[in-house]
Amino acid sequence: MAIAERLAAADPGNAEWQRDLIVSCVKLVDAEPEAARSWLARALAVARALRAAGRLAPVDAWMPAELERRLRNAGGAPD
Do the Cβ atoms of 58 and 16 come closer than 8 Å?
no
Q: Where are the beta strands (DSSP E) in the chain?
A: none
CA dihedral 23, 45, 38, 59 (to 10 degrees): -30
The domain in which residue 63 lies consists of 2-73
Q: Identify which has the larger pLDDT, 79 or 11.
A: 11
Query: Is 56 a member of any domain?
Result: yes
Residue 34 has a pLDDT of 94
Rounded CA gap, 61 and 41, in Å?
Answer: 17
pTM flag (> 0.85): yes
Within a domain: 34: yes
pLDDT at 79 over 70: no
- Give the tens place of pLDDT for each residue, 2-39: 999 999 999 999 999 999 999 999 999 999 999 999 99
Indicate if the pLDDT at residue 77 is higher than 80.
Answer: no
Q: Is residue 7 part of a domain?
A: yes
